[in-house]
Amino acid sequence: MTAEAMPTIEDVRAKLIAELEQVDAPDQILKHPQLRQLYGQISSLPAEQRAEYGQAVNKLKSELEQLVAKRQADEKTASKPVIDVTAPMDVNAEQSLPSPSSQGSLHPVTTELRKVTDIFLRMGFDVVDSRLLDDDYHVFASLNFPDDHPARDDYDTFMTTDGLIAPPHTSTMQNRVLKQYKSRLDDGEPISVVVPGRVFRNEDLDARHEHTFTQVEGVYVGRSVTVGNLIATLTTLLEEYYGQQLQTRITPFYFPFTEPSFEFSLSCPFCDGGCSVCSHEGWIELLGCGMIHPNVLREAGIDSNEFTGFAWGFGVERLVMMKHNIEDIRHFHSGKLNFLEQFS
């Protein structure tokens, strides 16, 4: 091989860089015969030229290595799907997604709660939402629960580390509602408000007890309000909701925030004398209610000698269970599709 026939480093560089663009396996360029040939020529050079020539070949090899590494990195990136978040929505892709309306529906408690609040709105009640955390004053103290009173044990619930309480009843809004609407009494109008909301209890769970459920509180205050008004209001609600005439009954009970207090039962809508839903008694205990305790009215700045009122709280789940003959309250929060789809 003559000196003239030997490819120069610059010739090999141009050739290999051009080939690098074409080959499928870029690292093969680093083993190219012409690159090996350049190294092979070192020994044939005069001794004084070898170091400089060797450095130049090494420099070319190092340049090729960097180009190979870059090409390999580019190929790796290109193989991943690249999502351009700034790109306009692909309309066709969107149309292929299932629409929410064909796949889901409102939760049965939401649907039924809307029916209940709608009945109360037609009866002239205002609707005020409850809250998910509250303080001791509104949950207990303002409702005539003295500190350390054993009645608090019936409302065992959850507390945050800084002392806030997950309300065990929507009555936690009663003091606020009474204060907010009491100017109506001066105008000769009654206070009539319902308060739907989630409530929480530290319960042993079973078919009838859940740690989280939905309550609807009712508050009505005016002049000459009696137990008769209470019974008539609740009976109207239930007959509207169940779409049939019902017999109702009240039995004495105890709540700190009402006096007298009652349990309110209705004749079983499923039978005429006894069935499994009503434990063959013909009556179903549905809710707690009573005449608002004078201490509760006074705490809200209402003259209990001039005005009287009633309040109640019922669980929406129990209402819905009776309407649809649902045997276990835990179905509502189970997320089971075969349960939920019956209501869609």
Provide the binding-site residues for Zn ion, judged by CB under 5 A. 268, 270-271, 275, 277-278
Q: Which two tokens stand for residue 318?
A: 């129990």
Residue 4, classed as helix, strand or coil, is: coil
Q: Which is nearer to Zn ion, 143 or 326 (CB)?
A: 326
Distance CA 162, CA 8 (A): 80
For 98: left if phi > 0, alpha if psi spans -120 to 50, otherwise beta; the answer is beta
Min. distance of Cβ 269 from Zn ion in angstroms?
Answer: 8
**On the CB side of 279, how many CA atoms lie within 13 Å of its CA?**
3
The label of the residue with tokens 């079973």 reads 206
Min. distance of Cβ 312 from Zn ion in angstroms?
Answer: 22
Cβ-in-10-Å burial (0-12, 13-18, 19+) of 21 comes to: exposed
Distance CA 139, CA 164 (A): 10
Rg for the chain (alpha carbons), in Å? 40
Q: Which is nearer to Zn ion, 270 or 343 (CB)?
A: 270
Min. distance of Cβ 266 from Zn ion in angstroms?
Answer: 11
Cβ-in-10-Å burial (0-12, 13-18, 19+) of 324 comes to: exposed
Q: Which is nearer to Zn ion, 242 or 270 (CB)?
A: 270
Q: Which is nearer to Zn ion, 268 or 291 (CB)?
A: 268
Q: Which is nearer to Zn ion, 135 or 281 (CB)?
A: 281
Q: Which is nearer to Zn ion, 128 or 268 (CB)?
A: 268
Min. distance of Cβ 224 from Zn ion in angstroms?
Answer: 36
Min. distance of Cβ 278 from Zn ion in angstroms?
Answer: 3
Q: Which is nearer to Zn ion, 266 or 300 (CB)?
A: 266
**CA dihedral of residues 217, 211, 319, 321 (deg, nearest 10):** 170
Q: Which residues touch 118 (CB under 8 Å, ≥6 apart)?
A: none
Min. distance of Cβ 238 from Zn ion in angstroms?
Answer: 15
Q: What is the secondary structure of 43-79 as a DSSP string?
A: GGS-HHHHHHHHHHHHHHHHHHHHHHHHHHHHHHHHH
Q: Which is nearer to Zn ion, 180 or 235 (CB)?
A: 235
Residue 95, classed as helix, strand or coil, is: helix
Q: Which is nearer to Zn ion, 195 or 268 (CB)?
A: 268
Of all residues in the shown chain, the one whose CB is closest to Zn ion is 268
Min. distance of Cβ 324 from Zn ion in angstroms?
Answer: 15
Min. distance of Cβ 277 from Zn ion in angstroms?
Answer: 5
Min. distance of Cβ 125 from Zn ion in angstroms?
Answer: 29
Whether the CB-CB separation of 174 and 296 falls below 8 Å is answered with yes
Q: Which residues touch 307 (CB under 8 Å, ≥6 apart)?
A: 185, 221, 222, 223, 225, 297
Across 156-194, b (16+ Cβ under 10 Å) vs e yields ebeeeeeeebbbbbbbbbbbbbbeebbebbeeeebbbbb
